[in-house]
Amino acid sequence: MSFSATDAAFEGFRVVRRRPVVALAWGLTYLLLYLVMFGLGADKWAALMAAGEALEQSANPSMADFQALGPVYASAFALAAPAGLVIGAVLSAAVARAVLRPEETRWGYLRLGMDEVRVLVVTLAVAVIVGLSSGAAMTVVGAAIGFGAASGQPLLILLGVLLIFAAFALVVWLAVKFSLAVPMTVDRRKIVILESFSATKGHFWALLGMAVIAVVMSLIVSILGMIIGAATDLATGGVQSLSRYADLGLGQILARAWPALLVSSVVNAFLSALQLAVLYAPFSAAWQAIRMSRGR
C-alpha cells in the first residue's frame, strides 16, 4: 500500500500551522547562521561580489578571469560551509522530529545531540555517494561527446546527448532512493543510509510526485521572498551593496553596511525556515505513512 503523495507534500504547512512558534525558532536559527556568516566574513563576501561584478562587466572574459574567482569563492565559503552543515543538520533533525515525535515540542524541536550528529553523518554520506555517482556519469558523458566530436560521427554525439538525460535520471533516482535516510535516522535513533533503498521500494513514483509538489510550493515561497527582498533591497541597498566596500576592512564594512546585512538576514532567515518545512517535512510524513502501512 502506497502513501498519499499529495497529502504528504503539504506536511510542512501543517507543521507550521500546528505550532507557529517553530517558524520563529527555526528562523532565529537561520538568522544566527547569517549573522555569523556576515559578522565574521563580510569582507570576503564583498570581495566575491566585486569580483563577480567585474567579470559581468568584462566584454570578453578569459578563462583566467574565471579561475581567479576560485580563491575568492573558497575564502567566502570557508566559514559558511562548515557552519551551514552544522545548522543544516540541526534544522533537518528538528523538522523530522516535529513530524515523527510531535510531543517533543521543547525549543521548537531544536536539539544539539546524537540525533543531529547522526543526521550530519548521513547527509554527508549521501552527498558523497550522489556526488561521486553523478561525477562518474558526467565523465562518461563527456568522454562520449568528446569522442563523437573528434571522430565526426553524429550518432556518437547523439549518444552523448542521450547519456546526459540518463545521468540526470540517475541523480534523480538516487535522490529519491536516499530521500528517507534522514527521517529514518531520526526515527530509529541510529544511522540509516542503505536501508532507505528498501524503504522506498514500491513508492518511487509517489515520492517523486510528492517531491515535485514540494519543490513547486518552495518556488512559490521563493517568489514571495523575491518580492519582499526587492522591497527591502530598495530601501537598504541589499547585500549587493557590499561590492562597493571591497577595499575596506571587516569593521569598516560592518559599520557602513550593517542595515542592509541585518534586514537581508532577517528576511532570508524566516523565508528559509518556511522553505525548510515545506521541502523537508514531506519526506518525514512519507516515512511515517510507509512505516505505519507496514505495521511498525
Other CB atoms within a 10 A radius of the CB of residue 144 amount to 19
Report how far apart the first and last C-alpha atoms of the chain are (Å, whole number).
14
Please give the sequence-ordered ranges of beta strands (E in DSSP) within 170-288, or none if there are none: none
> What's the rounded Cα separation, in Å, for the pair 203 and 282?
14
Other CB atoms within a 10 A radius of the CB of residue 32 amount to 14
Note the pLDDT tens digit of each residue in 50-81. 877 777 777 676 676 667 677 777 777 777 78
The answer for residues whose C-beta is within 8 angstroms of residue 97's C-beta and 6 or more apart is: 104, 109, 111, 115, 186
Residue 189: left (phi > 0), alpha (psi -120 to 50), or beta? left
Looking at residue 44, what is its pLDDT?
84
Burial of 239 (0-12, 13-18, 19+ CB in 10 A): buried
Amino acid at residue number 27: G
Looking at residue 45, what is its pLDDT?
83
Looking at residue 286, what is its pLDDT?
95
> What's the rounded Cα separation, in Å, for the pair 218 and 271?
10
Name the nearest CA neighbour of 49 among 229, 225, 269, 253: 253
Looking at residue 68, what is its pLDDT?
67
Distances (CA, A) of 65 to 48, 49, 79: 13, 14, 24
Distances (CA, A) of 187 to 100, 108, 192, 296: 7, 17, 10, 11
Looking at residue 78, what is its pLDDT?
77
Looking at residue 2, what is its pLDDT?
62
> What's the rounded Cα separation, in Å, for the pair 99 and 184?
12
Q: What is the DSSP letter of 153?
A: -
pLDDT in tens, the chain (296 residues): 567 888 999 999 999 999 999 999 999 999 999 988 888 888 888 888 887 777 777 767 667 666 767 777 777 777 778 888 999 999 999 999 999 999 998 999 999 999 999 999 999 999 999 999 999 988 888 887 777 777 777 777 778 788 889 989 999 999 999 999 999 999 999 999 999 999 999 899 999 999 999 999 999 989 988 898 888 888 888 787 888 888 888 888 888 888 888 898 999 999 999 999 999 999 999 999 999 887 65
